[in-house]
Amino acid sequence: MRPGLALPPLALVIIGGTALLVLAVGGLAAFLVALVGGVAALALGAPAIAEAALPAIPAQSTALPELDALLEGIDQPMLLVEGRRIASANRAALALLGRHIVGDDVRLAIRHPAAAARFGGTDPVESSAVDLIGLGSAEQRWEMRIGDAGRGRRVVTLTDQTLNDAAERMRVDFVANASHELRTPLASILGYIETLGDEAGEVPAVRARFLKIMFDEARRMQRLIEDLISLSRIEAEKYRPPSERIDLPALVAQLCTEIKASGSARAADLTCAVGEVPAITGDRAQLLQMLHNLVGNAMKYGRAATPVTITLDTAPGGQARIAVADQGEGIAAEHLPRLTQRFYRVDPGRSRSIGGTGLGLAIVKHIVERHRGRLDLVSTPGIGTTVTVTLPVAVMKP
Ligand code: ADP
């Protein structure tokens, strides 16, 4: 237990790296400072606050509204436990565990076998964090940590890990999806290699047909790998703002020239309406990739021989605005929120058969986010789709 220290008139409370200076005027103040300090260090993974910075635990408590408010404002459930009784609980703890837990045995309040083991004496109380799966609701996971607050009191903090779990699940799903997408064309190529080794390979027309299929499957794998590399590069640069000065009218004009010269069957359907817009700060290669993906989709999913239009203009707020519109079968409203998720497709068979990787819009979303822009997808089934990207203009240096 911590040795008793004199109560200073001011106490430093460190929460998540932010230092708050708190006027400590009474017994409860010192106790709460110890409580908050301990909790901040435990809950936020901060190094433990130096012993000398923590005031003594007083025998008597007096009210300190600032610290009460501070504890109440923390949205992480926190309990003060004396022996096994709950002496105090903040609002978040009451919301999670019930209004009447103060005074209860902590093992009854946190109805979870892992918590009961920790407080029941079978596990050492101060050891590592405990996972409480299913506390609150079946899908939730909380991490419980216990810190020594002195004089036989313990601070219990509960940290919601449910979102971290969801992020981990997404990562696992992504690896599984990417492996599956690569395995399918690879299995097809291996099958055709085997067949070519048989007599079928000796018939020139059959051999040519098989080689064409193998080539297409290999190209599909190549496109997928290129998109995966792009995505990971863009994500790696997420927090590094782009720094090139971009002349968007010139960039869009270059894109239109490239597509017209590409010999694509849909190139003749492309119309480019390039207006005057101020320069933006961006990443040229990424912006070109974003536009290629959007125009590529408009051409793939728009009806044959219908126009695909790129419009560059200035939005009412002064930002640069690029809209890519097609006249295709459109997208039903329920799919719109999920289209930028990796490998999400409205019709997976159709997307694959026209060379889609299912990563185009995920790449677009990350590029727009890195440019601090905004992405809007508007679609009317049976009529068509318009994807709009709004980008902030460059700030002029004085
Ligand atoms: P894909 O490689 O499958 O085209 P994207 O990430 O670019 O992958 O797009 C995801 C899905 O969104 C597509 O499979 C398609 O179902 C839908 N989609 C994208 N753009 C359009 C569009 N312009 N019109 C209709 N559907 C579209």
> At 5, is the pLDDT very low, low, confident or very high (cuts 50, 70, 90)?
very low
Same domain for 262 and 139: no
Each residue's pLDDT tens digit, 300-346? 999 999 999 999 999 999 999 999 999 999 999 999 999 999 999 99
Each residue's pLDDT tens digit, 129-161? 889 998 888 888 999 999 888 888 899 999 999
CA 344 to ligand 1: nearest atom: 10
Pocket probe mutation, ligand 1, options 351, 377, 378, max atoms within 8 Å of Cβ = 351
Has residue 32 got a pLDDT over 60?
Answer: no
The token pair that represents 148 in the structure block: 């020594």
381 CA distance to ligand 1 middle (Å): 14
Q: Please give the pLDDT value at position 46.
A: 36
Same domain for 393 and 258: yes
Averaged pLDDT for residues 260-285: 94
Same domain for 69 and 42: no
Same domain for 275 and 336: yes
Q: How far is residue 62 CA from its own chain's centroid? A: 44
Residue 203 lies in a domain: no
Same domain for 252 and 124: no
CA dihedral 241, 247, 248, 251 (to 10 degrees): -100
H or E stretch covering 314: strand 308-314
Residue 349 lies in a domain: yes
Pocket probe mutation, ligand 1, options 174, 177, 294, 297, max atoms within 8 Å of Cβ = 297
Residue 377 lies in a domain: yes
Has residue 13 got a pLDDT over 80?
Answer: no
* Cα radius of gyration rounded to whole Å, the chain: 30
**Domain end (from 130, 160, 190):** 160
Has residue 277 got a pLDDT over 80?
Answer: yes
Q: Please give the pLDDT value at position 54.
A: 36
Same domain for 79 and 26: no
109 CA distance to ligand 1 middle (Å): 49
Pocket probe mutation, ligand 1, options 174, 338, 345, max atoms within 8 Å of Cβ = 345
Same domain for 253 and 313: yes
Q: Please give the pLDDT value at position 136.
A: 86
Q: What's the CATH number where 77 sits?
A: 3.30.450.20
Asked whether the beta carbons of 56 and 37 are under 8 A apart, the reply is: no
Identify the residue whose C-alpha is closest to ligand 1 atom 16. Answer: 346
89: amino acid identity, one letter: A
Averaged pLDDT for residues 276-299: 96
From the list 154, 153, 132, the residue with the least C-alpha distance to 143 is: 132
From the list 106, 90, 205, the residue with the least C-alpha distance to 153 is: 106
> At 375, is the pLDDT very low, low, confident or very high (cuts 50, 70, 90)?
very high
Has residue 4 got a pLDDT over 80?
Answer: no
Residue 185 lies in a domain: no
Same domain for 69 and 35: no
- The 8-class DSSP code of residue 99 comes to T
Has residue 51 got a pLDDT over 70?
Answer: no
Residue 290 lies in a domain: yes
Same domain for 303 and 253: yes
Has residue 249 got a pLDDT over 80?
Answer: yes
Using alpha carbons only, give the angle 273, 277, 281 rounded to the nearest 5 degrees.
Answer: 120
Count of structural domains within the chain: 3
Residue 5 lies in a domain: no
DSSP 336-392: GGGTTSTT--SSHHHHHHTT--S-HHHHHHHHHHHTT-EEEEEEETTTEEEEEEEEP
Q: What's the CATH number where 350 sits?
A: 3.30.565.10
**Domain end (from 144, 160, 176):** 160
> At 25, is the pLDDT very low, low, confident or very high (cuts 50, 70, 90)?
very low
Has residue 37 got a pLDDT over 60?
Answer: no
> At 62, is the pLDDT very low, low, confident or very high (cuts 50, 70, 90)?
very low
> At 39, is the pLDDT very low, low, confident or very high (cuts 50, 70, 90)?
very low
- The 8-class DSSP code of residue 393 comes to B
CA 348 to ligand 1: nearest atom: 14
pLDDT more than 70, % of the chain: 81
Quick one: the chain helix, strand, coil %, rounded to 5? 45, 20, 35
Alpha-carbon torsion 71, 72, 74, 79, what sign? Answer: positive
Of 9-23, 198-212, 273-287, the least confident: 9-23
The token pair that represents 152 in the structure block: 């036989």
Same domain for 79 and 22: no
Residue 53 lies in a domain: no
**Domain end (from 104, 130, 160):** 160
Distance between CA atoms of residues 123 and 117, nearest Å? 6
Same domain for 71 and 41: no
Q: Please give the pLDDT value at position 68.
A: 76
Residue 191 lies in a domain: no
Identify the residue whose C-alpha is closest to ligand 1 atom 3. Answer: 358
Same domain for 388 and 256: yes
SS3 142: strand
Mean pLDDT, the chain, whole residue set? 83
Averaged pLDDT for residues 73-94: 92
Domain holding 122, by residue range, is 65-160
The CA-atom distances, in angstroms, between 350 and each of 41, 85, 133, 183, 357 are 53, 62, 40, 18, 11
State the pTM of this model.
Answer: 0.70
Averaged pLDDT for residues 353-361: 93
